[in-house]
Amino acid sequence: MRLRVTVILATIGATAAIYAVVVALFIRPPALGWAGFAIVTIILLGLGALAPLAFERTRVSAQRPAAVRDRRQRLLVVADSQCDETTLCDAILSRLHGPTAVHLVVPVRVSHVHFLTDDEAEERRESERLLSASVALLRQRGLSASGSVGSDKPLESMTDALGAFPATGVLLVTPPQDRSYWLERDLLARARALTTVPVGQVVVRTLAA
């Protein structure tokens, strides 16, 4: 995303610079004209910086799912990093029927405009914390559990995981609506459109709740 913004701004800036040179050499506008030109350029640069927000950030295509080689149940869980690990594990266990391997993916939770900054370390640490605590708790409860930190796009994290983990089911774990992450809008319907694997959703409380 940052690369996309950089390319957009560089293109607008280069175009404006070339136009300014042409205008200066052949038109020679008064000072008021240059002021107007500067205002238009600033507006265009601002629109260029915000342009990526006008389009859905999550652009994913369903990958070829990993082949299922036996009849063992495998549940892929995609959970928000703000979920409480105890409640998360309880929700997972309540949906298991018989021996099931669980793979937990925790996407990095970032804000609308976080792509303008360079530091995502804190958000990644939050995802790693939930992942480590939840996998350990699931193993304590007798489950075969593994996990990974996803990207900042929940659906992309899901499809990436399906390419390596032969899931027989997917569970999306999200916070209550008033604490919901902006990328979770219509998440269930969009997830179901990306895979033939059954996808369910459960809402759990967050650490701050």
Bigger pLDDT: 54 or 89?
A: 89
State yes or no: pLDDT of 91 exceeds 80.
yes
Q: How far is C-alpha 85 from the geometric centre of its chain's CA atoms?
A: 20
pLDDT attached to residue 102: 96
Q: What is the DSSP string of 7-46?
A: HHHHHHHHHHHHHHHHHHHHT---HHHHHHHHHHHHHHHH
Instruction: Kindly tell me the burial class for residue 18, based on how many C-beta atoms sit within 10 Å of its own C-beta (0-12, 13-18, 19 or more).
Output: exposed
Give residue-wise pLDDT tens across range 148-205: 999 888 899 999 999 999 999 999 998 876 656 545 568 899 999 999 999 999 988 7
- ∠ CA(201), CA(205), CA(209), 5° rounding? 155
State yes or no: pLDDT of 132 exceeds 90.
yes
Q: Round to the nearest angstrom and report the end-to-end CA distance of the chain.
A: 31
Instruction: Kindly tell me the burial class for residue 107, based on how many C-beta atoms sit within 10 Å of its own C-beta (0-12, 13-18, 19 or more).
Output: buried
Instruction: Determine phi and psi for 163, rounding to 5 degrees.
Output: -70, -20
pLDDT attached to residue 122: 82
Residues 6+ apart with CB under 8 A from 137: 85, 86, 89
pLDDT attached to residue 123: 84
pLDDT attached to residue 162: 93
pLDDT attached to residue 169: 94
Q: How confident is the model at residue 104 (pLDDT cuts 50, 70, 90)?
A: very high
pLDDT attached to residue 137: 96
Q: How far is C-alpha 72 from the geometric centre of its chain's CA atoms?
A: 29
Q: What is the arithmetic mean of pLDDT over 138-153?
A: 93
Which of 8-12, 51-55, 198-202 is predicted with the least confidence, judged by mean pLDDT? 51-55
On whether the CB atoms of residues 107 and 151 are closer than 8 A, the answer is yes
**Percentage of the chain lying above the pLDDT 70 cut:** 65
Other Cβ atoms less than 10 A from the Cβ of 149: the count is: 20
pLDDT attached to residue 64: 65
State yes or no: pLDDT of 29 exceeds 90.
no
Q: Which of 173, 182, 192 is nearest to 152 (CA)?
A: 182
Q: How confident is the model at residue 38 (pLDDT cuts 50, 70, 90)?
A: confident
pLDDT attached to residue 30: 77
Q: What is the arithmetic mean of pLDDT over 39-56?
A: 62
On whether the CB atoms of residues 158 and 194 are closer than 8 A, the answer is yes
State yes or no: pLDDT of 58 exceeds 50.
no
Assign 3-state DSSP to the chain and report helix, strand, coil percentages, each to 5: 50, 15, 35
